[in-house]
Amino acid sequence: MNIWKISIRNFRFKPLYTLLGILILSVSIALLVGIQQLDKSFKQQLDNNLGDIDMVVGAKGSPLQLVLASVLHVDNPTGNISFKEAKSLIKNPMIEKGVPISYGDNYKGYRIVGTTQDFPKLYNADLYEGRYVQKSMEVVLGSTVAEAIGLQVGDSFQSSHGLAETGGHDHDEPLTIVGIYKPTHKVMDRLIITGLETVWDAHHHADESVVDGHVTNSEREITSMLVSFRNPMALLTIPRSINENTNMQAALPKFELERLYQFTGVGVKTITWIAYAILIISCITIFISLYRMVRDRAFDLALMRSYGANRLQLVKMVAYEGFLIASMAFVIGVLLSQIGVYFILEMITDQYKQRMPLLLGPIELLQTAGLVALMVLSSICLAIYPILKMNISKILSYEK
Amino acid sequence: MVRTENLTFQYTNEDTVFKFPDISLGDNQNLLVLGKSGIGKTTLLHLLAGLLSPMDGVIEIEDEPIHNLSSKQLDRFRGQHIGLIFQNNHAVQSLNVVENLETRLFFAQRKISNTMITDLLEDLDIAECKRKKTRELSEGQRQRLGIAMAIVHKPKVILADEPTSSLDDDNCNKVIQLLIAQAKANNANLIVITHDQRIKPLFTHKLEL
């Protein structure tokens, strides 16, 4: 027999009561861990999607719209810009590279992006099978797209005009799938990548009267140019000079998204506060249950004092029980949060056609564990106080 | 050996000062302390057990002046040398009979011997309740468990507070006989505090408060 064994017997003495305490605490831990994790996943996802893109150059309009359209691929583009003009911009030595993208079509709601070989490099994307685009009318699928539409390398399909799934008319010339990318957990997963020529040729055939067979470099247009800087100093000068001196606009995705996040982040913050409130409530619950336990067992504890147990031994006994409850609640809480977060991310994947990575940061976990430990410790200390002040003689004289 | 001298006690926030007659018990001597309720019987018992500290006076158990011990030393002394028996509650609820006895030995810092525990339970005729929790025991079994708890660690002094008041004549007699026999077997002093006149004839040394 030792203190630990007595604690465990006490722990098991009223199982329903103990279980209830564990449950309440674990739910609040689950909420806390889950929210932190979702928040982190969401933020990381936004950062991830930026890849190496420091700046986007596109047609004048809303900078947020430009970023949403060209970087996150969720909004409509602001318009088109001249390929030639855009190319001249990136000759600046402070610019490392510029990747042109050109929109036009979709297949079953997945956007077809005409671009160069540099685009997948922005996201460190590798081929899962097949090869890269070599000529017009060839496409490589992002991993989510490949999974969703169920087509293989070698298959072809007809794209629909425009970015929306319905409403556009089908193009005549089919696109051939030559490759599939590995999952990047970034926005690229839900794109269909092709060469710039594919987009130009498709619209050339669709709108022959305008182009009339004389497509030259100077007439070619792109939706936007994704730019990465060589030198962070460029952030200060280049966007301003583009916005002031050309009929194009430059937007900084990091800045725009942070601005957006500041507004949408309010929700996350509120939920985090609610989780903290629940944590405090469950700590009060632990305190009350430990306090009641000490009260209920006052006679048993006094009896143990009469057996020769000293104060420290009784304090240990109650503290062990508290920590047993807290650590079980923590394990269950983390498990619950993982199940919850998994389902939420599944839902997000369904909705946004993009997979998010499951992130459980050890630092966040440690922080939560520390916080829970601190709260439990203080409630245990409060509950233990009556043991120290206990008048054994009095308790033993008033037998139940 | 138990000896007290000029023992007085006062509860905080109360005016009454308890003055107790001197006690002097040699080896194997038993004592019955009689008195009406409220006269300070339990107070005396708790003083002897080191659960209360006297205002003034001397308490010596086996030549150890326990009125001088610190709270921690008292816990230790009580654990090793004193066995307490209460009227109704006899053991920790969350533990079964054997675990209770093991706990008693653990706090007394004595070696835990299963054969010794089994022998004791057989002596007291509760060996079949080994794995039962206290609430599953009958009143008589509980009282015997209380005796087991008070003697398992071979104390020098057994202190019993109203051990018979909730028992019928038959059981009352049995319990007191058992206590006297166990005290003798363990070479311990037995001090019984009661207002139960039925057990008076069984003691040679008596103290009326």
Q: Is ipTM beyond 0.90?
A: no
Per-residue b/e over A25-54, b at no fewer than 16 CB within 10 Å? Answer: bbbbbbbbbbbbbbbbbbbebbebbbbbbb
Which stretches within A219-361 are classed as H helix?
234-245, 253-296, 298-306, 311-352
Both tokens assigned to B187: 């070479």
Share of chain A residues as helix, strand and coil, in percent rounded to the nearest 5: 60, 15, 25
Q: A48 pLDDT band (50/70/90 cuts)?
A: confident
Single out the residue of A133, A88, A89 nearest to residue A114, CA to CA. Answer: A133
pLDDT tens-place string over residues A139-183: 999 988 888 888 889 998 888 876 666 555 565 678 899 999 998
Say what the alpha-carbon torsion angle A317, A322, A326, A328 is, to the nearest 10 degrees. Answer: 50
DSSP string, A109-173: TEEEEEE-THHHHHTT--EEEE----STTEEEE-HHHHHHH---TT-EE--EESSSSSSSPBPSS
Domain coordinates of chain A in residue numbers? Answer: 3-47+266-397, 80-225
- Considering only CB atoms, A303 lies closest to which of B71, B87, B92, namely B92
Decide if pLDDT at B171 tops 90: no
Contact A308 B75 (CB under 8 A): yes
Decide if pLDDT at A186 tops 90: no
Instruction: Measure the CA angle with vertex A341, ends A358 and A111; round to 5°.
Output: 65
Single out the residue of B57, B54, B30 nearest to residue B43, CA to CA. Answer: B54
Q: What percent of chain A has pLDDT over 90?
A: 14
**What's the whole-number average pLDDT of chain B?**
89
- Interatomic CA distance for residues A121 and A36, integer angstroms: 30
Q: Any CB–CB contact under 8 A between A353 and chain B?
A: no
Contact A1 B87 (CB under 8 A): no
pLDDT tens-place string over residues A59-91: 998 999 999 888 888 888 888 899 888 888 888
Give how far B105 is from chain A: nearest CA, Å: 8
- Residue A399 pLDDT: 56
Decide if pLDDT at A281 tops 80: no
Give how far B157 is from chain A: nearest CA, Å: 13
Q: A271 pLDDT band (50/70/90 cuts)?
A: confident
- Residue A355 pLDDT: 58
**What's the whole-number average pLDDT of chain A?**
82
- Residue B8 pLDDT: 93
Mean pLDDT on B24-36: 90
- Considering only CB atoms, A308 lies closest to which of B91, B93, B108, namely B108
Q: A272 pLDDT band (50/70/90 cuts)?
A: confident
Both tokens assigned to A12: 């098991």
Single out the residue of A256, A249, A254 nearest to residue A57, CA to CA. Answer: A249
Mean pLDDT on A94-105: 88
- Considering only CB atoms, A399 lies closest to which of B51, B87, B108, namely B87
Strands A55-59, A81-82: parallel, antiparallel or unpaired by DSSP?
A: unpaired
Phi-psi region at B14: left, alpha or beta (left = phi > 0; alpha = psi -120 to 50): beta
- Residue B5 pLDDT: 92
Q: Any CB–CB contact under 8 A between A2 and chain B?
A: yes
Tokens 């200060």, residue?
A236
Both tokens assigned to B117: 């525990």
Q: A360 pLDDT band (50/70/90 cuts)?
A: low
- Considering only CB atoms, A306 lies closest to which of B78, B94, B102, namely B78
pLDDT tens-place string over residues A195-248: 988 888 876 554 444 444 444 544 788 999 999 988 888 888 889 989 998 889
Q: How many CB atoms lie within 10 A of CB B60?
A: 17
- Residue B101 pLDDT: 94
Decide if pLDDT at B74 tops 50: yes
- Residue A207 pLDDT: 46
- Interatomic CA distance for residues A348 and A358, integer angstroms: 12
Decide if pLDDT at A263 tops 70: yes
pLDDT tens-place string over residues B99-122: 999 999 999 998 988 899 999 999
- Interatomic CA distance for residues B158 and A376, integer angstroms: 41
pLDDT tens-place string over residues A49-59: 777 889 999 99
Helices (H) and strands (E) in chain B, counts: 6, 10
Contact B92 A396 (CB under 8 A): no
Q: Do A387 and A315 contact (CB within 8 A), yes or no? A: yes
Q: Do A7 and A317 contact (CB within 8 A), yes or no? A: yes
Q: B9 pLDDT band (50/70/90 cuts)?
A: very high
- Residue A211 pLDDT: 40
Decide if pLDDT at A400 tops 80: no
Interface test with B, best of A3, A12, A306, A324 (most B CBs within 10 A): A306
Q: Any CB–CB contact under 8 A between B154 and chain A?
A: no
- Residue B99 pLDDT: 94
Q: Which span out of A29-38, B161-170, B174-183 was modeled with the highest average pLDDT?
A: B174-183
Mean pLDDT on B35-64: 90
Mean pLDDT on B170-195: 89
Question: Domains, chain B, ranges and CATH?
Answer: 2-208 (3.40.50.300)
- For residue B206, give Cα distances in angstroms to A41, B24, B35, B185, B199: 80, 11, 11, 21, 11
Q: Any CB–CB contact under 8 A between A315 and chain B?
A: no
